[in-house]
Amino acid sequence: MKTRISIFILFFLLCKHCYSWGFYGHGKINYYAVFLLPPEMMLLYKPNISFLEEHATDPDKRRYAVPEEGPRHFIDMDRYGKYPFDGLPRKWKDAVEKFSEDSLKAHGIVPWHIQVMMNRLTFAFAKKDFTAIMKNSAEIGHYIGDAHVPLHTSSNHNGQLTNQRGIHGFWESRVPELLAEKQFDFLIGKADYISNPSDFIWNRIMESAKASDSVLLFEKELNNQFREDRKYAFEERNGKIIKQYSSAYTIAYNNKLDDMVERRMRQSIYAVASFWYTAWINAGQPDLKELAHQRFSEDELNSIDSLNKQWKMGSRMLGREE
């Protein structure tokens, strides 16, 4: 019985930690985005590709320590009526006027926060600030990735309202972790200049919101076709036995979704590279050659390390609470 309880706790924790594309997916999105850049940017981004991959998940780690962080990762569009949600002004100022800042934050602010990050990245390029370019590039990649995940635009974000708890991590972690290396195609082409970042990101949010019903419905249908013992499997991960969605169930879900996860991951990669590229252009295409061999200072590395420590401590505390 004891083992059973700890297996369930692990399963639940795994889903929590895999919030938003999972650590695996976010890292891969930033990683592959580098290959879409023009040579003038590649010379800075390629030597720092591991940083961009590793720090794609910093915003999720910060959620334990910084209360304002949470709302930046999602937007519950269904709180604003029905698709295409015309009642919600797309401009932050107009939306605040209509709904108040507190209420917007309660339902998530990802499309607006991406624009804040875009300004920060553009400024970092203009100042040729190596650390700020790298950190803001890694982090805007995270938020753009989140905006592409259908369940990040629904208040039923983990299927908690429809008895489908766990579906969040299923769609964005389990599917890519099982299938990305084997069958996803990450050859995407090149980054483009985005003349209107606000429209661009709102379009992606609308697509996510439109897809969220199928994400939930298809899993519900599949659940009715699979017996419990075929739906889940026990697998070893880092020396621990965890309960997770079985490979057969995961593959069946991916087929039913007609490769939606791969499509959204590819679109995320394209969007991340295009936002990086656009920020660089808008900053006046600064020459990045002299930054290419720069490294992080001791202080910067310490502050990165302390975020990791806080995150580990926070997640351990969360484990105890649960």
Chain residues in the site for Zn ion (CB under 5 A)? 20, 60, 73, 146
Say if residues 285 and 40 touch (Cβ distance below 8 Å).
Answer: yes
Q: Which residue is nearest to Zn ion (CB)?
A: 20
Q: How far is the CB of 53 from Zn ion (least distance, A)?
A: 15
Q: Report the nearest approach of Zn ion to the CB of residue 59 (Å).
A: 6
- Spatial separation of the C-alpha atoms in residues 74 and 282, rounded to whole Å: 26
Which residues are 234's β-sheet partners?
243
For residue 254, give both structure tokens: 């991916």
Neighbours of 96 (CB within 10 A): 16
Minimum CB–partner distance for residue 8 and Zn ion (Å) = 24
Q: Which of 121, 124, 170, 166 is nearest to 142 (CA)?
A: 121
State the minimum distance, in angstroms, from the CB of residue 256 to Zn ion.
25
Plot region of 151 (φ>0 → left; ψ -120 to 50 → alpha; else → beta): alpha
Amino acid, res. 233: A
Do you find a cis peptide bond into 89, omega within 30 degrees of 0? Answer: no
Q: Which helix (H) or strand (E) holds 321?
A: helix 298-321
The strand pairing partners of 245, in sequence order, are: 232
Give least dist CB 27 to Zn ion, A: 13
Measured between alpha carbons, how far is residue 157 from residues 20, 166, 221 in Å? 10, 9, 18
| 28/130 with CB nearer Zn ion | 28
Cβ proximity to Zn ion: between 73 and 157 the closer is 73
Residue 102 three-state SS: helix
Best CA proximity match to 267, nearest among 167, 213, 191, 181: 191
Asked whether 92 and 112 are in contact (CB, 8 A), the reply is: yes
Nearer CB in complex with Zn ion: 73/125: 73
Element (H, E) at 245: strand 240-245
Least distance between Zn ion and beta carbon 104 (Å): 18
Residue closer to Zn ion (CB basis): 149 or 257: 149
CB-nearer residue toward Zn ion: 23 or 253: 23
Cβ-based neighbour number of residue 95 at 10 Å: 19
Closer of 41 and 174 to Zn ion (Cβ): 174
CA end-to-end span of the chain: 17
Least Å distance between CB 26 and Zn ion?
7
* Least CB distance to Zn ion at residue 295 (A): 27
Identify which of residues 146 and 262 has a Cβ nearer to Zn ion in the complex.
Answer: 146
| CB 236 to Zn ion: min, Å | 27
Taking CA atoms, 172 is separated from 106, 194, 201, 285, 311, in Å, by 23, 26, 19, 34, 21
Nearest CB to Zn ion, comparing residues 148 and 266: 148
Nearer to Zn ion, 136 or 246 (CB): 136
